[in-house]
Structure 1
Amino acid sequence: MTPEQRILAKLLLIEEEMKNIELWQLESPTEQAFESVEPFCIDTMSAHEWLQWVLIPRLSSMIENEMPLPNKFAIAPYYEEAFKEDKSRDVTDLLNHLRELDAMFKS
């Protein structure tokens, strides 16, 4: 399995886990939400929205279009902080998947 295939497989596991813990949305955020210039669209989207609607599609598209991927990548710390107060669901597996995704980009 190539590194790109491993990344795509990890993205699928992240999607599945988001569905399992009921963070996956059927409706996209508004067009304006995507126009944010802030990291993670923090001013217009929740953390899980950015993951679903921005990160997963962009990484998948980059791989499918054979574009160069980032050399370094670290999103798990953001999600550890974003989900710290969420007591309504167990995000342990999701955070583990995100940490593993980060590790795939360590050069």
Structure 2
Amino acid sequence: MSGSDDLSRLLSAIEHELRRIDLWSSVSPPEDALASNAPFCYDTLALHEWLQWVLLPRMKAIIEGGLQLPEHSGIAPLGEQVFPDLTQDTDDLLLLLRRFDEFIEGHGE
């Protein structure tokens, strides 16, 4: 198995968990919300929206294009701050985000 296979499985697991805890939307945010220059689009999107509409598509494009992975990732600490405000049980999602961060930190160059 390649690193890209492992990453693809991890991204699929994040998507599955977002769906399972009902944080997945079939309606895309407005284009201007997605075009935010703020980290994680924090000024226009909730973190779970950013995961769905920005992170997952970008990472899939990186894998499919054989492009270089980011050097760093710090998504889990942000999730630890914002997810407690949600009614959903986000423990498994946070675990997956920690695994994602660890993967990127170990493979990004």
TM-score past 0.5 threshold: yes
Q: Kindly report the root-mean-square deviation, in angstroms, between the aligned alpha carbons of the 2 structures.
A: 0.9
1:12-91 residue pairs with structure 2 within 5 A?
12-86=12-86, 88-91=87-90
Matched, 1:97 2:59: no
Q: CA deviation at 1:3?
A: 1.0
Residue identity in the other structure for 2:3: P
Extract structure 1 runs of 4+ deviating beyond 6 A.
Answer: none
SS in 2 for 1:104: helix
Number of equivalences: 106
Greater helix content: 2
Residue identity in the other structure for 2:33: A
Q: CA deviation at 1:70?
A: 1.2
Q: Which runs of 5+ in 2 are unaligned?
A: none
Instruction: Quote the sequence identity (%).
Output: 42
SS in 2 for 1:22: coil
Taking structure 2 as the reference length, the TM-score comes to 0.93
Q: CA deviation at 1:102?
A: 0.7
Residue identity in the other structure for 1:18: L
Taking structure 1 as the reference length, the TM-score comes to 0.94
